[in-house]
Chain A
């Protein structure tokens, strides 16, 4: 028999993070439901559970990241699986319509939501789906989510990892990292934009800075430059392109290294610098442009992060956010940049659940209000 607690919040347990581009949803599926419970369970609740857990795609744009699912998790005394679902923010009305159709509001649950959309769409939740949102700060949720996911023992692959030999492409391999004593930590969340936080303890963190050059910029520019329309498409193109045809490198200007200032010839001197020339504009491919965009945005995040790490005197950097989803290219670039420009002082770390920490934090807030 499972350990139960009567003070626990009623099911369903959701955590939601409504960002500028994506809505991230985490759903806890209890696996320890007793027969007695099953009998009492209302039909709506069952139908929601069945719908979410038996599908991996919802509508045309909703996706469940099955590989991220955390099984046999104990949350608030209940055992179950944690599911990770995402869909584009512009499809939120579809989601709300579905909630209305499934009479979600009859469950009298509190929906904990974070991200800007929790504020922007609060009214839509009320009017379209008769749902009252419990709004939470996104950075509070992010920090809480990261620290929680990292702490839970899971049978799957290690949550935290890094790249060994980041400066040697042939021997650069992903390795698990044990984030035992994580503080202080620089947490870089790359969503549509970027936020950089210095985390000193579970309850002590500050937002150091942020930049508007983030995942949204990569996708936005790629759409304009190549005519693509999805992140996956843009990444696919980038993986096939060559940024050095687009960017002006140090060696393009100095013929080699700029020794006086210790700049290697391969370093980018001017992003898109070759595109000042008409002939070169005509000779590059869409793939080259996509790759250059990716490299530009990634390196810039790397630079700002490195400066923040120096200013805050922190050596460990954890990169999260959906920009890094299926984006090994950027992760390796970040790992390289951190290592190279800091002469090995800085370590770039990554987390498997990339963009879901805000949603996890929202769920935790539902179960353990802080």
Chain B
């Protein structure tokens, strides 16, 4: 019962701690995507070929430059370029959902490149990584200030995310050597079992005939 008292106490203590966490967490105001300056950067992303791109092989030619309509340019310190899901790739996949609160948003999980902000137009030749899933994408560049908070962005598609999209086909992840190893171990398992079984039955017959 001393142990159960100790368990009760620690449970109660952890409950108290949670409550405190919740109170403190709710106090900060979350940064929203809708507060960011739209179209501050002009971004283009040109795929290396017209058909579906292969992850790990095909490239994107990405360029970004300051738009004439941008107003918050003074705050820009870094540009973060990311690969984002088009709406069609978010259907039935809540782990890719677009959320207004920036820290919750999961629609742009793949980092392309991060560069210090430069007034002149920038470009980058991006080879699609081998862990990019199959889907339809566009490119977005966030302008980030010195406190690492996003202040503005630009993207290679329109506001409805319907133009200039490109499709990627993921790698399969399968390998011939893996397939062979798999078959070998499976066969070993079945054979070992049969050998044991047959052997034991044979010994039993010999025993019985004695």
Whether chain B is bound by chain A comes out as no
Task: Give me the interface of A with B, judged by CB distance under 8 Å.
Answer: none
